[in-house]
Amino acid sequence: MDIRVEVDGNIIIMKLSGSLVASTVDDIRSQVQKLITKKYPFIIFDLAGVDFVDSSGLGICIATSRELSASSGRLVCSGLRDNARKLFSITRADQKITVVPTRTDALAFMQDLLCDNSSARSPYL
Amino acid sequence: MTEERARILLIDDTPANIQILYELFHREYGIFFATSGRDGLAIARRELPDLILLDVMMPGMDGYETCGHLKSDPLTAGIPVIFVTAMGDEEDETRGLATGAIDYLTKPISPPIVKARVRNHLELKRGRDQLEKVGLELAAKHGILEKERMLAHDLLSKILPDRLCLRGFRTEVHFRPSDRIGGDFFDGWNDGDNAHFLIGDISGHSISAALLMAVCKGLFMSLGQGNRDPGAIVAAANRILCRMLIDSGMYLTLIYLYCDRQRGVVRLVSAGHCTAYLYGAAGRTGLESTGPPLGWDPDDSWEVSEYSIVGGDTIVLYTDGLVETRNGQGMMRDDDPFAGLDPAVPLDEMVADLLAAAESFCDGRFDDDVTLFAIRCDDLRGGVAMEQTVTFSLSPDFSSVDTIRREVGLALQGWFDGRVDGGAISDFCQAICELVNNAVEHGECTVLEATLLLEPRAARFVLETDGEYFDTAASTASMPEIDGNGNLPDGGFGLALIRNLSDGIRYQCVDGRNVTEIVKHFEEV
């Protein structure tokens, strides 16, 4: 699992690649904790490079979403491949976590969230 | 390039003595001086001179002590020290040399002798320094080469498949590279219900042999697509390889065979390869060479020999590393290892027996790569093979989840070969991962053994573990809810996912071992 963290204003993009499974979730957990401590509660998981997600990987997404909401922030997942999309759908996790097609959509969604009076609103909001 | 001027440090408490030596040397060498042992040590550490002339009788730290300090500091230990003193008896000289000095001069000094000795020692020092530098460079170069070799070795072992899963055939492969790189390769792939097989041995062990092996692996597979004539395939490969190999001294031997189950024949080319064997109802047939090795002449051609086969017949391919071995007395093996082979035993046993015999003869010391590749043709039943079993031994940690996902995915894709929906394969892989995940996370097991049973329209995955009783089958199929606060359900989604993504699950406890089986049916598309 390779984690690349990018900052766009107040928004963090965590570009993940490899397998999001039990053996790799701890790295993500500690990264997220660091970001919350540094007061960055708006995080995008860009999963375009993730070839496989299992139930532990799904678990970290749900836990992160809950923690960020508790810190008045938000988790958005983008770029889900077939396996991840199916997993999110059959567990109904996609009804609890914001899932958008691309990283651009995710950024637009976050920016709308951060400035409520924007005229052009993301269709996912 | 002009050589740097050598630099000398003079340590003497009498300025007049320093003056004499300075006059003697300053035209040829760079000079530093100190009037006490303590100052001398500081300058020596800072300037790292090429030579030190050291007075013995000094107040405070005398010459012996100074020399001892110089020699015990790794930074200055390599600097040659010459004692200069008024004392002249043999005992003093011995003591001086014992503290690590390289030479001993007595006052009054004779200028020509002092100059000659200093010059000699400086030259010796320069020679030592150069030797050391060359040695370090050589070690660095050797390190780089060794690293490259390890990388190539590692890459090679990944190019060759761990196992082959082909419809209509059982195969058993043992590939053991020698500690040198290069050498052997093998491959096999389906053409409908028929299949191509090959085994090859490249002369030499070097990075170039490894490169050639990687080329061959891709070359034969691409030439073999849509072509069922081993003679034409090998001749085409030879023309391409000759362009690379002529004048290189490298060549390769190989056996290429096409197994046509519908017509019940094997067509084969052996390019200078050691005799392979076909075991059928009529006994053993040697599959002899039908032409020269590849890489010698672009105009070479190969005869194709044809043999009948029926379901249950076995072909044993190997490279000569298996038989060209020496025992503890240096004697070559001269019996026929394939004579007593019982073609009725299971394929894995047959391969294990052949290997065990070879290993016991040479005491496990093979000089060359060893490849043993046994192929058994399944019974035909409506043109579809009956089944194949693949076993996995896993480590009891999460790394096994990745391993199993990759291996099972490859095995399923090989077995169904595009005939079933890829989504169904990935669903089954996911269910298997969840099962292994659960066992690792909650099962407290130390042993994980898995078997994949491949059937014409289904696959079963059986996981056997020790440790906690763990009844996956007791789980329900309904997906647990994430509650309003976004909390994960108890136990997560693993069990429900297994239920959802497979078509059946069974659990039983056998002799204290937990055996869980999940099954998935596959529709042809």
Residue A106 has pLDDT above 90, yes or no: yes
Residue whose C-alpha is closest to residue B87's, from B59, B110, B55: B55
Q: Are B377 and B310 in contact (CB under 8 A)?
A: yes
Q: For position B235, what pLDDT does the model report?
A: 95
For a pLDDT cut of 90, what percent of chain B falls above it? Answer: 31
Residue B9's alpha-carbon distances to A1, B32, B57, B68, B215, in angstroms, are: 58, 5, 17, 16, 62
User: DSSP H helical segments within B99-110, as ranges?
Assistant: none
Q: For position A117, what pLDDT does the model report?
A: 47
Residue B422 has pLDDT above 70, yes or no: yes
Residue B381 has pLDDT above 60, yes or no: no
Residue whose C-alpha is closest to residue B269's, from B198, B216, B186: B198
- Where is average pLDDT lowest: A83-87, B355-359, B489-493? B489-493
Pick B43 or B418 by higher pLDDT: B43
pLDDT tens, position by position, B371-380: 899 998 876 5
Q: Would you tell me which residues 60-89 of chain A have a C-beta closer than 8 angstroms to some C-beta of chain B? A: 62-63, 65-66, 69, 82-83, 86-87
B497–A55 C-beta distance less than 8 A: yes
Q: Give CA B463 to chain center in angstroms.
A: 30
Q: For position B50, what pLDDT does the model report?
A: 93
pLDDT-derived band at B19 (thresholds 50, 70, 90) equals very high
pLDDT-derived band at A35 (thresholds 50, 70, 90) equals very high
pLDDT tens, position by position, B425-439: 999 999 999 888 888
B492–A21 C-beta distance less than 8 A: no
CA A50 – CA A2 distance, rounded (Å): 9
Residue B216 has pLDDT above 50, yes or no: yes
Structure tokens of A17?
A: 């690649």
Give per-residue burial for B258-279: e unless 16+ CB within 10 Å, then b: bbbbeeeebbbbbbbbbebbbb
Average pLDDT, rounded, for chain B: 85
CA B451 – CA B436 distance, rounded (Å): 12
pLDDT-derived band at B499 (thresholds 50, 70, 90) equals confident
Q: Order of strands, edge to edge, in the sheet holding B252-260?
A: B184-191, B194-202, B252-260, B265-271, B305-308
State mean pLDDT over B470-486.
Answer: 69
CA B51 – CA B439 distance, rounded (Å): 70
- Where is average pLDDT lowest: B18-22, B82-86, B131-135? B82-86
Q: Are B167 and B417 in contact (CB under 8 A)?
A: yes
State the DSSP string of B233-248.
HHHHHHHHHHHHHTTT
Give chain A positions within 8 Å (CB) of B500.
90
For a pLDDT cut of 70, what percent of chain B falls above it? Answer: 94
Pick from B398, B434, B493: CB nearest A23: B398
Q: For position B384, what pLDDT does the model report?
A: 47
Q: Are B483 and B424 in contact (CB under 8 A)?
A: no
Q: For position A77, what pLDDT does the model report?
A: 96
Question: Residue B283: in which H helix or E strand, if any?
Answer: strand B283-287
Give chain A positions within 8 Å (CB) of B496.
91
A90–B430 C-beta distance less than 8 A: no
Q: Is cis: bond before B108, omega within 30 of 0?
A: yes
Give chain B positions within 8 Å (CB) of A69.
486
Going by C-beta distance under 8 Å and a sequence separation of 6 or more, which residues neighbour residue B446?
Answer: B396, B466, B467
- Where is average pLDDT lowest: A75-84, B200-209, B228-237, B258-267? B200-209
- Where is average pLDDT lowest: B173-177, B403-407, B479-483? B479-483
CA B377 – CA B389 distance, rounded (Å): 14
CA B374 – CA B346 distance, rounded (Å): 11
Give chain B positions within 8 Å (CB) of A94.
none
Is residue B451 less than 8 Å (CB to CB) from chain A? no
pTM beyond 0.95, yes or no: no
Pick from A62, A82, A90: CB nearest B486: A62
Q: Are B104 and B55 in contact (CB under 8 A)?
A: no
**Burial grade of B253 (CB within 10 A; 0-12, 13-18, 19 or more):** buried
A65–B479 C-beta distance less than 8 A: no
Pick B487 or B497 by higher pLDDT: B497
Q: For position B446, what pLDDT does the model report?
A: 85
pLDDT-derived band at B383 (thresholds 50, 70, 90) equals very low
Is residue A29 less than 8 Å (CB to CB) from chain B? no
Residue B1 has pLDDT above 50, yes or no: no
Pick B442 or B476 by higher pLDDT: B442
Residue whose entry in the numeric block shows the structure tokens 């194709």:
B304
Residue whose C-alpha is closest to residue B196's, from B216, B175, B226, B173: B226
Structure tokens of B238?
A: 């030879």
Q: Are B491 and B504 in contact (CB under 8 A)?
A: no
User: DSSP H helical segments within B172-317, as ranges?
Assistant: 207-224, 230-245
pLDDT-derived band at B42 (thresholds 50, 70, 90) equals very high
Residue B516 has pLDDT above 80, yes or no: yes
pLDDT-derived band at B166 (thresholds 50, 70, 90) equals confident
A63–B494 C-beta distance less than 8 A: no
